[in-house]
Amino acid sequence: MNDMTPTREQREAKLEGMGCKRKRVEDIRFTQGKGNYVDDVKLPGMLHGDFVRSPHAHARVKSINPEEALKVPGVLAVITAETLKTVNLAWMPTLAGDVQMVLADGKVLFQNQEVAFVVATDRYAADDGINKVVVEYEPLPPLMDPFKAMDPDAPVLREDLAGKTTGAHGPRKHHNHIFEWTVGDKDLTDAAFRNAEVSIKEMISYHRTHPSPLETCQCVCSFDKIKGELTIWGTFQAPHVIRTVVALIAKIPEHKIHVISPDIGGGFGNKVGAYPGYICAAVASIVTGKPVKWVEDRIENLTATSFARDYHMTTEIAATKAGKVTGLRVHVLADHGAFDACADPSKWPAGFFNIVTGSYDFPTAHLSVDGIYTNKAPGGVAYRCSFRVTEAAYCIERGMDILAQKLGMDPAELRLKNFIKPEQFPYHSALGWEYDSGDYHTAMRKMMESVDYVGLRLEQAEKRAAFKRGETREIMGLGVSFFTEIVGAGPSKNCDILGIAMFDSCEIRMHPTGAGIARVGTKSQGQGHETTWAQIIASEIGIPADDIMIEEGNTDTAPYGLGTYGSRSTPVAGAAIAMAARKIKAKAQMIAAYKLEVHEGDLEWDIDGFRVKGLPEKSMSMKDICWAAYNSVPPGMEPGLEAVSYYDPPNMTYPFGAYICVMDIDVDTGVYKVRRFYALDDCGTRINPMIIEGQVHGGLTEAFAIAMGQEIRYDDEGNVVTGSFMDFFMPTAVETPHWETDFTVTPSPHHPIGAKGVGESPNVGGVPAFSNAVNDAFSFLGSTHIQMPHDFWRNWRAAKNLGVFAA
């Protein structure tokens, strides 16, 4: 070896493979304002569409008069449900098996529902046009309280379902009922409660909120009448699914539909489903023969597309006096708004809520969920969450704290006592899941030691005593949260969307000079896939990550994939990438053996190429193998070096984490201060620690927002009262606490590289940590459970209700 020969460490470092804090390659364009978003798409002759929306939450639409609008200069057309009926598109199917009005058909069912679509030469003319469309409404009583939805005299919302006693998920019990979903052993669970030494029961609500990505939902549709082809640029988290949905409902052959998701400015579940704007822009383009752009504004985004949560969870835990849990019983009232448009895999009407037994070894559990209609916007999307796992984690983590309080036990101690033990994995939960791997005790103890949990509890005890003596008006809360996530939808045995199994895919093509391109079925919205996918390939085939280009989001070039949401990209597509790379490597080995004139079995892999076992100087780098693949492959072998993998995972992955929030609350003002927030995450093998940290920071910030104020709230008449960023809490750097992050590594045994997802984890674990901190702070004053969100005013009110102010 001469001085110029790189060392093994240098060769390894040059790859920037898995485990490397590689800088995000996409940031080169993003930080210079050179991203290419949907609104950057400007086509010759492009028209603009905008919606007339309903001011009422529930009303009959008596007439729509477009006459004056059509006189506005630049306005070309006003599309209504009657127009759409001529092409059979007045209603569209939802991902949850329901149907949804594209434009108001006889009735409106929520405020800001789409009533008519005005098409004009520019956005301003379209906006002027919508103000001139005259709509005559006859207001009807709105149904806003989910607990009154199934009252006998509750107003009938969905007249289209009149007389239908069965829906997509079985029998309906009432005209506003969507489905009932039950899981678990009812008799065994009821018996556990009959025999329980101790039990708790609490109605725990997870309020309605919204993913509110920086970039709203938008699209440009361009129909080529000559070729009969439709091209759609859109903010789609799952572009292939959109292509299939368009083919099915618009009856355009799928190969004549081109869906392109360019750069996306955040998704968080908001951009999974299909919205009326997409249908209207496509129809408008087909009718006018010109490209049509539709861009939601912020108020439209917050009020009409895809709410999240709105689960009301009656939670019961049975336990022994010593604190061993013996049963869990949960009933959920799920408010789905006007249409059931939840973005869940087909068989799961309440998503993966049956992960609600959490990290604990419950011998038995029973869950029932009633989905109901109200006069609110549809959606039910997984806002930085894997299909309702966030609601489930909040439910069980509040429940465990309430049980600890009743038992007079420390919440951390109660959790340690009930955790699934390392030797129980793979663990079969009482509600039907098989957890792949975990070491909960180690993670929890690491968290407790890192923050000096014992010391914090002592400090809290002293502060409580001082409060009782009247020496301070500040109360201190410790919010412990331990979550188990379920990500990686999913195995085809239990997950599909519209009948398409939820696999994912990767195609790698290596070029002669040793650089290559990988196309993947996922679509990054900020998660950094262009950086991390190349790192997986670099480690697998020994080509530097910088020499691999990653492409996603174009249905003409990427292999069919189910997209990015619910932290499924790493568990599913990440596996497909590793498997495609291994196919490349297997062919490369054959080529190297031929070139080195040895048997394949005589070769061993060495960082960036193959070498002959026992003769390390006889070797061939992957770069040289790429060249050979194009000029001297073994006789009978096809030239070229490319591979594709469609990966159907055998199971989900189950990341987990231990979080703690230390909070002080001033009872006189309700003002809180997050003194410390520590988050330990275990996502198995870590591809890029820096990106993981970024994901955790972002997810914690969203968790902070949701727990401490972010809410979509309605008044009794059905008006959205939090429909702009003036009212909807969107934390900036000023409000956001400092985050401390940590990790353990428990690889997934079934994933090719042992990786689990991470993107959703901080939201799943963060919300209960904040809420438990607030509740823990108030608990010594006699409070059991205070509903989220915990904004200043509600904290002040909680203090008032607990009688802390002198009369």
Q: State which residue, 367 or 696, has the beta carbon closest to ligand CDP.
A: 696
Rounded (5°) CA angle 594-599-603: 95
123 is catalytic: no
Residues 24, 168: Cα–Cα separation, whole Å: 43
Beta strand pairing status for 609-612 and 292-295? unpaired
Beta strand pairing status for 229-234 and 257-260? parallel
| Shortest Cβ 573–ligand CDP spacing (Å) | 8
Which segments of 107-262 does DSSP mark as H helices, in order? 123-132, 186-194, 239-250
**Quick one: CA torsion of 617, 622, 628, 633, rounded to 10 degrees?**
90
Distances (CA, A) of 575 to 622, 752, 759: 21, 6, 16
Are residues 439 and 359 in contact, defined by beta-carbon separation less than 8 angstroms?
no
3-class DSSP state of 774 = helix
Q: Count CB-CB contacts under 10 A for residue 634.
A: 11
Peptide bond into 789 cis (omega under 30): yes
Out of 385, 395, 626, 683, pick the active-site residue.
Answer: 385
x/- track of binding to ligand CDP for residues 521-560 (CB under 6 A): ------xxx--x----------------------------
| Shortest Cβ 683–ligand CDP spacing (Å) | 4
Number of residues located near ligand CDP, criterion CB under 6 A: 23
| Shortest Cβ 18–ligand CDP spacing (Å) | 8
**Which span sits near ligand CDP by CB under 6 A: 120-128, 631-639, 683-691, 717-725?**
683-691
Residues 398, 785: Cα–Cα separation, whole Å: 8
Backbone angles phi, psi at 541, to 5 degrees: -120, 5
Is residue 688 involved in binding ligand CDP (CB under 6 A)?
A: yes
Is residue 312 involved in binding ligand CDP (CB under 6 A)?
A: no
Residues 421, 541: Cα–Cα separation, whole Å: 37
Is residue 266 involved in binding ligand CDP (CB under 6 A)?
A: no
237 is catalytic: yes
Is residue 272 involved in binding ligand CDP (CB under 6 A)?
A: no
Among residues 109, 451, 667, 691, which is the contact residue for ligand CDP, using CB under 6 A? 691
Among residues 230, 679, 683, 788, which is the contact residue for ligand CDP, using CB under 6 A? 683
3-class DSSP state of 427 = strand
Q: State which residue, 375 or 570, has the beta carbon closest to ligand CDP.
A: 570
Is residue 262 involved in binding ligand CDP (CB under 6 A)?
A: no
Is residue 502 involved in binding ligand CDP (CB under 6 A)?
A: no
| Shortest Cβ 531–ligand CDP spacing (Å) | 7
Query: Among 206, 306, 320, 321, which residue's Cα sits nearest to residue 266?
Result: 306
Is residue 518 involved in binding ligand CDP (CB under 6 A)?
A: no
Distances (CA, A) of 140 to 109, 111, 137, 158, 769: 10, 12, 9, 13, 41
Is residue 626 involved in binding ligand CDP (CB under 6 A)?
A: no
| Shortest Cβ 529–ligand CDP spacing (Å) | 5
| Shortest Cβ 365–ligand CDP spacing (Å) | 27
Is residue 385 involved in binding ligand CDP (CB under 6 A)?
A: no
Residues 697, 656: Cα–Cα separation, whole Å: 16
Among residues 686, 750, 785, 790, which is the contact residue for ligand CDP, using CB under 6 A? 686
What would the 3-class secondary structure string for 215-229 be? Answer: CCCEEEEEEECCCCE
x/- track of binding to ligand CDP for residues 93-132 (CB under 6 A): ----------------------------------------
Q: State which residue, 144 or 545, has the beta carbon closest to ligand CDP.
A: 545
Residues 24, 697: Cα–Cα separation, whole Å: 16
Residues 128, 118: Cα–Cα separation, whole Å: 9
Out of 111, 113, 218, 237, pick the active-site residue.
Answer: 237
Is residue 437 involved in binding ligand CDP (CB under 6 A)?
A: no
710 is catalytic: no
Residues 727, 172: Cα–Cα separation, whole Å: 36
Write down the number of H helices and E strands in the chain: 19, 35
Are residues 419 and 444 in contact, defined by beta-carbon separation less than 8 angstroms?
yes
Is residue 386 involved in binding ligand CDP (CB under 6 A)?
A: no
Are residues 46 and 106 in contact, defined by beta-carbon separation less than 8 angstroms?
no
385 is catalytic: yes
| Shortest Cβ 539–ligand CDP spacing (Å) | 12
Is residue 24 involved in binding ligand CDP (CB under 6 A)?
A: no
Among residues 564, 701, 772, 779, which is the contact residue for ligand CDP, using CB under 6 A? 564
Residues 296, 217: Cα–Cα separation, whole Å: 6
**Which span sits near ligand CDP by CB under 6 A: 69-77, 179-187, 341-349, 681-689?**
681-689
**Which span sits near ligand CDP by CB under 6 A: 123-131, 330-338, 425-433, 563-571?**
563-571
Q: State which residue, 146 or 684, has the beta carbon closest to ligand CDP.
A: 684
Is residue 692 involved in binding ligand CDP (CB under 6 A)?
A: yes
Is residue 684 involved in binding ligand CDP (CB under 6 A)?
A: yes
Out of 485, 552, 711, 760, pick the active-site residue.
Answer: 760
Query: Among 348, 331, 369, 398, which residue's Cα sits nearest to residue 189?
Result: 331
Q: State which residue, 25 or 192, has the beta carbon closest to ligand CDP.
A: 25
Residues 567-596 that bind ligand CDP (CB under 6 A): 567-570
| Shortest Cβ 254–ligand CDP spacing (Å) | 25
Distances (CA, A) of 675 to 152, 363, 480, 806: 49, 37, 14, 28
Residues 706-765 that bind ligand CDP (CB under 6 A): 755-759
Out of 384, 519, 568, 686, pick the active-site residue.
Answer: 384
Q: State which residue, 533 or 796, has the beta carbon closest to ligand CDP.
A: 533
**Which span sits near ligand CDP by CB under 6 A: 169-177, 562-570, 707-715, 738-746?**
562-570
Residues near ligand CDP (CB under 6 A): 527-529, 532, 564, 567-570, 683-688, 691-692, 695, 755-759
Q: Which residues are catalytic?
A: 237, 384-385, 760
